[in-house]
Structure 1
Amino acid sequence: MTGAAAGECAGLSGLFIGLMSGTSIDAVDGVLVRFDESGVLAGTLAAASLAMPVELRRLLTDLQQPGADELARAALAGNRLADLYAQCVQALLAQAAVPSSEVVALGAHGQTVRHDPAQGFTIQLLNGARLAEASCIDTVADLRSADIAAGGQGAPLVPTFHARVFGSASARRAIVNIGGIANVTVLERGSAAPALGFDTGPGNTLMDAWCERHRGETFDRDGAWAAAGRVDQALLGRMLAEPYFSLPAPKSTGRDLFNPTWLDRLALDRIAPVDVQATLLELTARTIARACTEAAADEVHVCGGGAANGALMRRLAACVAGIPVGTTAAIGLAPQAVEATAFAWLARQRVAREPGNHPAVTGASGLRVLGALHAAPRVRT
C-alpha cells in the first residue's frame, strides 16, 4: 500500500475513484469522489464517461458466449479494458486538477463475461495490476469473488452503498438500477442496511441487442422505437414464463441467460420487430414493477442508463400505479454516477478492511471484505 492509502486506514477518508462498465458494454463511467471518516459521501469532484471502442465492445460481447481461444482473447480484453479505464482515470484527474498521489485508491468493476454463483464463480475481465501501473493509484478489482466464496450470489453489491446514501427516515424506498440487467434495492424506513436487493431481470440488454440487430443502432434512444410499437401479449406471456422470474431472492443474473439466444427461442418470426421492441420494454417495466410493488415501496428512484429512457420510465410509472417514480437525482446523486460511486465506496471499504457486502442481499454466510488490492508503483504523480 502506497502514498495516501498507507496513511489513512484509521477512520479512512479522502479521495477515491470508481470505474464501471456494465452489462450494456457501451461505456466506462468514472467518478472522483470524497468520503468522510465514516464512509459517507462528502462530494463529487469529477465525472467522466468514455465510449466503449467498437472493436473492444465486439470482443467483450463475443466473450459472453463460449468460443475458440477464449483464454487468450479474455486476457487481451482485460488488458485493453485496463487501458481504457486508465484513460478515464486521467480524464477525471485532469478535470479536477488533482494529482494521482492524492487519491487513496480506485475501485474498478471490470466486464462481466460469466456469472454462475451456483457453480461458485464469476468472471469480471480486467487486468488490475496493469491499471494500477498505468494510473499510479492503488487498484481494487475482482470485487465479487469473496462474496461468492462465502456462499453468496456476488451480486448485487450496490445495495449496501444505496443504504448509505439514499436511506430515508420517513419512506420505504426502492432504488432501481437499470443497466443491461436491472436490480432493485429496498431500503426500510430509518434503517442503515438494505432490507432486500436482487436482480429483477433484463434492463436494457435485450432491447439494445434487438435494436442493433434490426436498426443498426446500439440502443433505442429515449425508447422512441419501442413507443412506436404495440405490446404482443402472447409474446410477453412467453417471456414472463422464464423460470428466473419466479425464483425467490437472493438471486442474480446476467447476459449468460438474457442474451440474443434467449430471444431467438421465443418464436419471433411472425411478429413485427417494432412490436418485439415494445414487448421487451414492457418486460423490463413489468418485472421491475413487480419487485417494487411486492416490496411495498413508498417511492421508486431510478438510476443507470435506463433512467434516460423516457418510454421505459413512463411504463414503469404506469405499472406501479400510485407509487411515485423519479430518478436518484431528486435524492442527491445523478443517475449515471450511482454505480461508479458505489465502486469508489467499495474501494474505500477494501482499503479500510471493512465489509462491502450484505448477507441479506447476496445470501453470503456473513459480512466480507471485498476485492483484490493491486498496489501502485511507489513513484506517484
Structure 2
Amino acid sequence: MPLFVGLMSGTSLDGIDAALVRCGEGPVTLVDAVGLPMPDTLRNQLLALCQAQSVDVARLASAETAFCQLQAKAVARLLVKSGTGPEDIVAIGSHGQTIEHAPYGYDDDSAAAFTWQLDNPSLLAELTGCRVVADFRRRDLAAGGQAAPLAPAFHAALFSDPQEWRLVLNLGGFANITLLPPASVDAPVIGFDTGPANALLDAWHLRHRPGNYDADGAWAASGQVDASLLARLFEEPFFHRPPPKSTGREVFHLDWLASHLTGDEVPEDVQATLAELTAASVALGVEQAIDHQQANGAVRLIPCGGGAHNRDLLDRLGRRLPGLGLMHCEDIEWSPDWLEAGAFAWLAWRRLEALPGNLPSVTGARGPRILGGVYSA
C-alpha cells in the first residue's frame, strides 16, 4: 500500500512527531516513526503567540519558518531511519501548530468562530521534495463544525470492533475521547475534548521544578488533592457543556489557574489537584458519552498520547472509572505515542482519494467534508 507521512505538533508543544504509515484499502499500518524535540527558543516563541493579544507579523513569519524547518528535519530523519526516499512518499499530512482555537468565536458570542494552525505547506513541500496536504480543520469549521477533534475518524478505522464498545482516550496537551460502537449496534461514533491534560500539568511543573514535564506523574503523586481548589476549577463552564465541544489554551492556561488560587497552596498539592482535575473531567466526559449512546455492556478503554505513560494519572482514572477494561494500542501494533501523527497521514490519504475526513457526529458539522488543501512538491 502507498506510504504517507503524518506530522503532528500538539498543544503540549514538546516536539514534532513524524509517522510513516501505509494507507490504502487494507488495514492502516505504522511502518516507522521519529520524534524531534522542540527547541526551547521556538517553544517560547510559539507559547508567546498562543498567549498574545496582538501579533507582530515579522515575529509570526519567523516562528512559522522555524517551525516548518523543524518539520522538514523530522521528515528527513524519518526517511533516513526507515530507508525511504522522498520519491516513495505519496504525501505528507501536516497538522501544523495550533495557535488559536475558538470554535465558539472570541470574547463574545457575536465574534466569528475560527481555528488557526501555524503552518507553511508550500515551504514544507519545497524543503522535503514531497507533496503536502495541510489545513485540515477549517473546512469542517466552514461547515458549522468545531474543527476538532479530527482523530476520531482514524480511531474508528483502527479500533472499531464487531462486538464490543471501545473508548479511545487521547491524553495530549488536552484530553479527548472517542466512543466507538460495535458494528452490531446502529449508533454513530462520538468524540469530544474533555478538558486539559498535559498542558497545565507541564506548565505548572516547569514553573516550579526543572524539566518540561512531571515524569510518570511522580511530583503529582507526592502532593495532596486540594478539594476546595478542585471544586473551583471544576466550575469552568466548558466542563459542563454538552458535546460537540473542543477547547485549548485559549481557555485553560496558567493565568486561568492563577485566578482560582488563594496564594497559600503548596505547589505539589496544586499539581496533584491538576492531575485530579484531568481525571475528573475525563470521567465526566466518559459518563456523558456512554449515557448519550446508551452503551450497554462492557466498554474497553484505550489510552494514547503522552499521558498514557503517566502512571499517577492512569491510577487516578482507574479509581474514577473502575468499570472500564483496558486495551493497549500495541495490541494492534500501534504505539500510543504515534497515533495522532498517524491520523494526519491517514487524513492526507483520505484527501487524495476525495474521501471525507470528518465525522459530523463528532464535530457537529452539517455533513461529511473532504478536508485539507494539496501543495505539490
What TM-score comes out, normalization by structure 2 length? 0.93
After TM superposition, give the deviation of residue 179 of structure 1 in Å.
0.4
Trace 1:1-381 onto structure 2 (pairs within 5 A).
13-37=1-25, 40-41=27-28, 43-67=29-53, 69-118=55-104, 119-190=112-183, 195-296=189-290, 298-376=299-377
SS at match of 1:295: helix
Structure 1: 5+ residue stretches without partners: 1-12, 377-381
Q: Distance in 2 between matches of 1:332 and 1:234?
A: 42
Contact 1:159-1:194 at 8 Å conserved across structures: no
SS at match of 1:17: strand
Structure 2: 5+ residue stretches without partners: 105-111, 291-297
User: CA 1:193–1:331 in 2, change beyond 3 Å: closer, same or farther?
Assistant: farther
**Paired AA for residue 140 in structure 2:** D
Contact 1:19-1:106 at 8 Å conserved across structures: yes
Identity of counterpart residues, as a percentage?
A: 46
After TM superposition, give the deviation of residue 67 of structure 1 in Å.
4.5
Contact 1:164-1:192 at 8 Å conserved across structures: no
SS at match of 1:109: strand
SS at match of 2:337: helix
Q: Distance in 2 between matches of 1:211 and 1:260?
A: 11
Contact 2:49-2:55 at 8 Å conserved across structures: no
After TM superposition, give the deviation of residue 332 of structure 1 in Å.
3.6
After TM superposition, give the deviation of residue 330 of structure 1 in Å.
2.9
What TM-score comes out, normalization by structure 1 length? 0.92
**Paired AA for residue 321 in structure 1:** P
Please identify, of 211-220 and 124-133, the stretch whose mean Cα deviation from structure 2 is larger. Answer: 211-220
Q: Distance in 2 between matches of 1:272 and 1:87?
A: 41
**Paired AA for residue 345 in structure 2:** A
Structure 1 runs of 4+ aligned residues shifted over 4 Å read: 191-194
Between the two proteins, the alignment pairs up a number of residues equal to 362
SS at match of 2:51: coil
Q: Distance in 2 between matches of 1:277 and 1:192?
A: 41
Q: Distance in 1 between matches of 2:355 and 2:336?
A: 26
**Paired AA for residue 20 in structure 2:** L
SS at match of 2:338: helix
SS at match of 2:189: strand
Q: Distance in 1 between matches of 2:95 and 2:32?
A: 18
After TM superposition, give the deviation of residue 46 of structure 1 in Å.
1.4
Please report the RMSD computed on the Cα atoms of aligned residues, expressed in angstroms: 1.5
**Paired AA for residue 231 in structure 2:** G
After TM superposition, give the deviation of residue 126 of structure 1 in Å.
1.0
After TM superposition, give the deviation of residue 193 of structure 1 in Å.
8.2
